[in-house]
Structure 1
Amino acid sequence: MSLDTRYTDHGDGSSEGSDSVIAAAGRIREAVETVIEGKADIVRVAMTVLLAEGHLLIEDIPGVGKTMLAKALGRAVDCTVQRIQFTPDLLPSDITGVSAYHQERREFEFKPGPVFANVVVGDEINRASPKTQSALLECMEEAQVSVDGQTRLLDRPFMVVATQNPVDMEGTYPLPEAQRDRFMARVAVGYPEPQAELDMIDTHASNSPLDDLVPVATAADVRAMISHVRGVHVAPAVRRYAVDLVTATRTSPALRLGASPRSTLHLIRASRAYAALAGRGYVLPDDLQDLAVPVLAHRLLPSPEAQLERRPPEQVVSDIVSRLPVPEHV
């Protein structure tokens, strides 16, 4: 028996709002998948983070399409997109902006940095110093930037899509824990399937598929989808299940740093978007299980014993999900 039949139906997913969300999200997903082939699960997580008002961290080796995925997501929506190439000499003011003195007006004029956009693509974020990485902390958490004692709000929707190489690669700085905790989810693109790589030769060899990608939704569409997602029902038993998942990471002997309360909120917000993309007006425990690894694993630090046993946080989270009792009635 599927889990869907065991839980109270709080919405049939056939309302006009739900249909419009699925339709708009489907257009965006299809547009992105014309660029990133054979990675439907990764694109779905990216869409989930967008509709949950979160930020996405894409971590993998060079050359597998991390930046291409980030650009495709930004280009599929008709909104402002800015790219930041993170380098060791990048300064915080290069991201947030700076106040410059205007000679004719005899006053300081604020020149906004690339963070003032709807979608900010942070390419190779862990190649900049921790000080520069931290310039994103305030804007990612509060959608605002404080420069020279003045706070400026960022336009909604606002999403940071950052890429990074594995920390054991040359020239990288590990992201601070506070920075990783701001990202709602982390995904790895991985190598393509042979057939997808063969198709890529035909579609990518002569020109970039990004050149042919046209916006299929507007920023207003995304704001409407976000508003709909906020109304997706989360039953008390499902909320408790989310807390139990996060609490289990704090008590696991395989981890020396468990997930934060912010991760609980991110897990609930992401599950609402995930359910909406599935055409439901309510969240199932299945949604939390599907999202547990991308939402929680990057925030965790393994214990020395787990490191010796080569048990990554992803495996620890999967083990927690498999053994934690699932609520039977919601």
Structure 2
Amino acid sequence: MMRAVPPAPPVARHADALTAALAQLDGVILGKPGQTRLAVACLLARGHLLIEDQPGVGKTTLAGALARTFGLDFRRVQFTADLLPADLTGVSVWDAPNSTFRFQPGPVFSEVLLADEINRATPRTQGALLEAMEERQVSEGGVTRPLPDPFFVIATQNPAAFVGTSPLPEAQLDRFLMTITLGYPDPRAERTLLETGGRSLSVRGLGAVLDAPTLLQMQREVDSIHAAAPLLDYLQLLARATREHGGLLTGLSPRALLALLSAARAWAYLAGRPMVLPEDVQAVFPALAAHRLPPRDPGASMPQLLSRLLADTPIP
């Protein structure tokens, strides 16, 4: 009698597809494997991603490549000072033949939404998007309409010194699970861009490695990644360290601590492990904490501050 084959552990079911997806993204976003991996982890953890950088370094390309690789519907909205909330969420229009109002969905009704240069829009429009991100639904005309599932927002933000920007307040920044910066390419990647005329950045020819139902299954599997009691102790020690740090105005909130656990689970899942290790927490901590922890000294280097904080916090 043949012995039944046990089911594969959740972290192994989609390992090959995830490896192929990351390889495809790395082939478009040259020389930035850490950033692409953080973006995928953010998607797997059901979060939203904020990319802070100057124009022309590949922010839009990363968003489009991520959507195509995961087989998701993609829309891009250029945020400007005259963009209204209804331009984003949708509006009811009069249907004369049927003598009724008909809701015309806005671009927020997509699986991946790129909010390009979000800090060029008015606070009212920013708030409309961030409300949709938090509630994952849109209310209009007394009717609540759920957004697609999965629903992933990638927002780009220009440096605050740029003309015509309205920086996001701290409470709205907290709606983003992670913040990353792409920065300039390294010399080798930049040379490849020059030799190919930028064709390596094209996302039009990318095929879908995964699809939406598979992504939803992976997101559920991420939730099942085990976090042992000592790991939870470590998270609490990190939170306490941020709250007592003299160089920070505020520390991590309980909601941010839950977000850190979700992000660490996603990172462990990408590594093919069924449980979270301290190294997973350390890998995602800077991207999760940088936009949530205002420094007391505006001129302080957040990467150095966070690195020192991690180094000084003991692992149970």
TM-score after normalising by structure 2: 0.94
Distance 1:102 1:250, change over 3 A: same
**Paired residue type of 2:55:** P
| 1:99 CA drift (Å) | 1.2
| 1:251 CA drift (Å) | 2.1
Is 1:106 the counterpart of 2:111? The answer is no
Distance 1:52 1:206, change over 3 A: closer
Is 1:19 the counterpart of 2:8? The answer is no
**Paired residue type of 1:234:** A
**Contact conserved, 1:24 with 1:221, CA < 8 A, in 2?**
no
Partner of 2:158: 165
Matches of 2:89 and 2:254 in 1, distance apart? 27
Partner of 2:280: 287
Distance 1:163 1:75, change over 3 A: same
**Paired residue type of 1:168:** A
| 1:52 CA drift (Å) | 0.5
- Equivalent position to 1:191, from 184, 195, 205: 184
Deviates more, 1:181-190 or 1:203-212: 203-212
Partner of 1:319: 308
**Paired residue type of 2:63:** A
Matches of 2:80 and 2:169 in 1, distance apart? 16
Distance 1:212 1:264, change over 3 A: same
- Equivalent position to 2:257, from 264, 271, 282: 264
| 1:59 CA drift (Å) | 0.7
CA deviation map 1:24-46 (0-9, x unaligned): 22222122112101110001000
**Contact conserved, 1:21 with 1:277, CA < 8 A, in 2?**
no
Is 1:211 the counterpart of 2:200? The answer is no
Distance 1:204 1:56, change over 3 A: farther
- Equivalent position to 1:222, from 215, 230, 235: 215
- Equivalent position to 1:126, from 119, 128, 148: 119
- Equivalent position to 1:253, from 246, 255, 258: 246
Aligned residue pairs: how many? Answer: 310
**Contact conserved, 1:34 with 1:209, CA < 8 A, in 2?**
no
Matches of 1:223 and 1:203 in 2, distance apart? 36
The percent of aligned pairs where both chains have the same amino acid is 45
| 1:116 CA drift (Å) | 0.6
Matches of 1:206 and 1:258 in 2, distance apart? 43
Distance 1:325 1:136, change over 3 A: same
TM-score after normalising by structure 1: 0.90
**Contact conserved, 1:21 with 1:276, CA < 8 A, in 2?**
no
Matches of 1:17 and 1:203 in 2, distance apart? 39
CA deviation map 1:204-227 (0-9, x unaligned): 445852122111111011111111
**Contact conserved, 2:267 with 2:280, CA < 8 A, in 1?**
yes
| 1:312 CA drift (Å) | 3.1
**Paired residue type of 2:101:** F
**Contact conserved, 1:48 with 1:270, CA < 8 A, in 2?**
yes
Matches of 1:153 and 1:233 in 2, distance apart? 30
**Counterpart of 2:154 in 1: which secondary structure?**
strand
Matches of 1:142 and 1:312 in 2, distance apart? 33
| 1:245 CA drift (Å) | 1.3
- Equivalent position to 1:78, from 51, 62, 71: 71
**Contact conserved, 1:238 with 1:283, CA < 8 A, in 2?**
yes
Partner of 2:3: none
**Contact conserved, 1:25 with 1:47, CA < 8 A, in 2?**
no
Partner of 1:3: none
| 1:254 CA drift (Å) | 1.1
Matches of 1:256 and 1:48 in 2, distance apart? 28
Matches of 1:301 and 1:205 in 2, distance apart? 37
Unaligned runs of at least 5 residues, structure 2: 1-6
CA deviation map 1:10-66 (0-9, x unaligned): xxxx93432223222222212211210111000100010011000111111121111
| 1:301 CA drift (Å) | 1.4
Backbone CA RMSD of aligned residues: 1.6
**Contact conserved, 1:250 with 1:259, CA < 8 A, in 2?**
yes
Deviates more, 1:206-215 or 1:64-73: 206-215
Unaligned runs of at least 5 residues, structure 1: 1-13
CA deviation map 1:214-255 (0-9, x unaligned): 111110111111111111000122112112212322222211
**Paired residue type of 1:191:** Y
